[in-house]
Amino acid sequence: MAAAVARIFERGGVLLAEAGTGTGKTLAYLVPAILNRERVLISTGTKNLQEQIFFKDIPALRDALGIPFTATYMKGRANYLCLHKLDRLNEGVGMAVNDVFLPIVREWAIRTETGDRAELEDLPEDVGFWSEVSATAETCLGTECPRYDDCFVTQMRQRAAASDVVIVNHHLLCADAAVRQNAYGEVIPACSRVIVDEAHQIEDIATQYFGYSLSNYRIDELARDVERVVTAGIVDDGNNEIARAVERLRDHSQAFFSDLAFAHRGSGRVKSEERVRATPESLGQTRETAAELSGALDVIESTFTLLPKIRQNEVDTDGRDDGIKEQIAALARRAGEVRDELRVLQRAADDAYVYFVEFRGRGIFLRAAPIDVSTIVRELLLDRMHTTVLTSATLTVDGSFDYIRSRLGIRDAAEVRLPSEFNFEEQAILYLPRRMPDPRSDNFATAAGREVIEILKRTRGRAFVLFTSYATLRAVQAIAEMALDYPILAQGAAPRSQLLKQFRARPHSVLFATSSFWQGVDVVGDALSCVIIDKLPFASPADPITAARIDAIRACGGDPFGEYQVPLAILALQQGLGRLIRHRRDRGVLAVLDPRLRTKGYGARFVASLPPAPLVYDLSAVEAFFSD
Ligand code: SF4
């Protein structure tokens, strides 16, 4: 792999490199990239991998290679502390002045060199307080900020601009490309060589970033920030004009989002997470409230566009300007942007996008996503770069790169495939139970529950049980909890990193989880000796993005099931099963409960792509494996 990367760095172009688990693919691309002596951008699927490369692989290479090079990592702005916001809180201005986490952040701010919240282990992942001090683009004052020079974001950019190796993640890579024109966005330094690790995720992440999205949360945040400049005394609202505009904004937002919900799900209940396709017709039902909301945003925009002029004299006579004009202008800009996006979304007129409403907890999102990201990937990576390496443990289907090539629009590319270093023959078995009902039948969950119990008794817990839906997860969990004494953890009970910590710390734990644990989770050793998957992970054709992609393939005369749905599910299954063997000494059982692997014609494609572990069909073989 290192030789293939070195060759592509020399002659330019695209390399597709699949390197199974344990091959050391990170070092295989880092070594030739560093030896090339030109700036290289590395993009990873997760922040975890970013940190692993920066804190583990780079120092090891610095010692081993004996040549000087500099490296840095960049994350999205929201990961960094905003010193200006912290200053305001320290002056007693802001909603979070009494927050329990403020002293922790204050104390850390003095000693941190990066301002990256990942250093703050005591701060829970999903704590709302962080948004009160984070360096988001929407609230940044840019060069007008009194702390601009010591700002962690400014420093991160300066470090990156002076580094040979810049490690980003796909979210940042896409966000950067999406906001390139905006001075306050993310700014990755110019670079002509990129290595995209975990490249199988690029389609999904580009889909998220190159669309439009408007939510009730986004408008609530805008309303809150507008109110904040009044309560903080930044603007004077003597005649309550701003207060009335905010009230109108909230009222119209509520009316619009409840119309939107009613038009797309009726008055019935929906699952905690659901997406429903939106069309110009369905959105027609919200025309009136959308126009009113748009009008309310107009008022905020024009009020704040006029304000700096009013305020200018006062600022000058105070002799201080803490970026007040900028804050006011930023609010006007935000209101205008939200209004423009609302109009684009409400028209739902661009055929290149699929429009949908997403319900998530109490959030209602009106979104548009690109149906085909290949042009975006071409413009973002392939055309801009002299060299692009796309690598992952799972890039091929049926032994070929055709699927990833077609999804990402890659024509000319060199290819290299390296099998896993692990000895699956010895280290694992693959258990496919003989008698399981059809996964769409009512008794599937009960049968799956029974199988899970029998398998876990033989593995003595120590397992990930991965589901394609919450409904089956909950049903199987309820059955398993009655029959097993092992500690059972379930996704949603705690943040992901905490669940993993508990899983590692408590012997014989069993973790029940859905899609987010299928990828990027690393548990080495005995604690994880079994991975059970309930169903083949087909993306639901009821999902608007999947449905739009199926329609697009069909419209071009293709076979969406064979060309898209099966390959996508194969890659997801490989990722899920890939959680088990992470080290040469790891051993364990993989189990797939879905009978379609054996009963359907396409099942053979799945079986052929599974890790080359011996297939077993009886629980006695599972028992024998663990008694060896
Ligand atoms: S430049 Fe922006 S992010 Fe940095 S401290 Fe100032 S307001 Fe915060």
Residue 397 Cβ contacting ligand 1 at under 6 Å: no
Q: Does 537 lie in the same domain as 450?
A: yes
Instruction: Report the predicted TM-score, pTM, of the whole model to 2 decimal places.
Output: 0.87
- 495 pLDDT band (50/70/90 cuts)? confident
- 184 pLDDT band (50/70/90 cuts)? low
Q: Of all atoms in ligand 1, which is nearest to the CA of residue 145?
A: 6
Q: Atom 2 of ligand 1 has which residue's CA nearest to it?
A: 140
Q: Which amino acid is at 119?
A: E
Q: pLDDT tens digits for 42-81?
A: 999 988 889 899 999 999 999 999 999 999 999 989 999 9
Q: Does 452 lie in the same domain as 412?
A: no
Is residue 484 included in any domain, yes or no? yes
Counting ligand 1 atoms within 8 A of each CB, the residue from 151, 225, 322, 331 with the most, and so the one to mutate, is 151
- SS3 at position 70: coil
Tokens 């991975």, residue located: 531
DSSP letters for 424-465: HHHHEEEE--S----TTSTTHHHHHHHHHHHHHHHHTS-EEE
Is residue 505 included in any domain, yes or no? yes
Tokens 């270093």, residue located: 421
| 364 or 176: which leads in pLDDT | 364
Q: Does 238 lie in the same domain as 185?
A: no
Q: Does 295 lie in the same domain as 180?
A: no
Q: Does 413 lie in the same domain as 485?
A: no
- 16 pLDDT band (50/70/90 cuts)? very high
Distance CA 624, CA 293 (A): 66
Q: pLDDT tens digits for 214-259?
A: 999 999 989 988 988 887 777 777 778 899 999 999 999 999 999 9
- 308 pLDDT band (50/70/90 cuts)? low
Is residue 203 included in any domain, yes or no? yes
Q: Domain range spanning residue 223?
A: 212-370
Q: Give the CATH number of the domain where residue 541 resides.
A: 3.40.50.300
Counting ligand 1 atoms within 8 A of each CB, the residue from 77, 79, 80, 82 with the most, and so the one to mutate, is 82
User: Strands, E, within 87-243: which ranges?
Assistant: 165-169, 193-196, 212-215
Structural tokens at position 134: 């984070």
In the reported structure, the alpha carbon of residue 214 is separated from the centroid of ligand 1 by a whole-number distance in angstroms of: 25
Q: pLDDT tens digits for 402-452?
A: 999 999 999 899 999 998 888 989 999 999 999 899 999 999 999 999 999
In the reported structure, the alpha carbon of residue 234 is separated from the centroid of ligand 1 by a whole-number distance in angstroms of: 17
Strand partners, 532: 465, 591
| 207 or 581: which leads in pLDDT | 207
Is residue 157 included in any domain, yes or no? no
In the reported structure, the alpha carbon of residue 133 is separated from the centroid of ligand 1 by a whole-number distance in angstroms of: 10
Question: How many residues does this entry show for the chain?
Answer: 628
pLDDT at 372: 95
- 330 pLDDT band (50/70/90 cuts)? confident
Distance CA 589, CA 368 (A): 41
Please name which of 45, 167, 24, 202 lies closest in space to residue 5, comparing C-alpha atoms: 24
Residue 530 Cβ contacting ligand 1 at under 6 Å: no
Q: Give the CATH number of the domain where residue 283 resides.
A: 1.10.275
Question: Residue by residue, what is the 3-state secondary structure of 324-381?
Answer: HHHHHHHHHHHHHHHHHHHHHHHHCCCCCEEEEEEEECCEEEEEEEECCCHHHHHHHH
Q: Does 205 lie in the same domain as 216?
A: no
Please name which of 101, 110, 173 lies closest in space to residue 133, comparing C-alpha atoms: 101
Q: Does 66 lie in the same domain as 110?
A: no
Q: Atom 4 of ligand 1 has which residue's CA nearest to it?
A: 151
Cite the DSSP H helix spans in 91-151: 102-111, 130-133
In the reported structure, the alpha carbon of residue 145 is separated from the centroid of ligand 1 by a whole-number distance in angstroms of: 6
Is residue 62 included in any domain, yes or no? yes
Is residue 154 included in any domain, yes or no? no
Residues 6+ apart with CB under 8 A from 96: 89, 102, 129, 132, 133
Residue 148 Cβ contacting ligand 1 at under 6 Å: yes
For 213, phi then psi, to 5°, come to -155, 135
- Segment 531-549 shows an average pLDDT of 94
- 200 pLDDT band (50/70/90 cuts)? very high
- Segment 316-329 shows an average pLDDT of 62
Distance CA 579, CA 3 (A): 28
For 383, phi then psi, to 5°, come to -75, -30
Structural tokens at position 466: 């991965």
Q: Does 177 lie in the same domain as 53?
A: yes
Choosing from 358, 393, 418, the residue where a domain stops is 418
Q: Does 205 lie in the same domain as 99?
A: no
Q: Does 102 lie in the same domain as 62?
A: no
Choosing from 341, 370, 399, the residue where a domain stops is 370
In the reported structure, the alpha carbon of residue 131 is separated from the centroid of ligand 1 by a whole-number distance in angstroms of: 13
Helix (H) or strand (E) holding 390: strand 387-392
pLDDT score of 314 more than 60: no
Q: Of all atoms in ligand 1, which is nearest to the CA of residue 139?
A: 7
- 626 pLDDT band (50/70/90 cuts)? confident
Residue 84 Cβ contacting ligand 1 at under 6 Å: yes
Distance CA 334, CA 328 (A): 10
Q: Does 380 lie in the same domain as 472?
A: no
Distance CA 543, CA 207 (A): 14
pLDDT over 90 percentage in the chain: 65
Rg (CA), the chain: 26
Is residue 149 included in any domain, yes or no? no
Q: How many distinct structural domains can be found in the chain?
A: 4
Q: Are 458 and 623 in contact (CB under 8 A)?
A: yes
In the reported structure, the alpha carbon of residue 155 is separated from the centroid of ligand 1 by a whole-number distance in angstroms of: 11
Is residue 156 included in any domain, yes or no? no
> In 3-state terms, the chain is what percent helix, strand and coil (to 5)?
50, 15, 35
- 318 pLDDT band (50/70/90 cuts)? very low
pLDDT at 60: 95
Provide the pairing of β-strand 510-513 with 363-370: unpaired
Q: Does 361 lie in the same domain as 236?
A: yes
Q: Are 222 and 245 in contact (CB under 8 A)?
A: no
Structural tokens at position 119: 């250093």
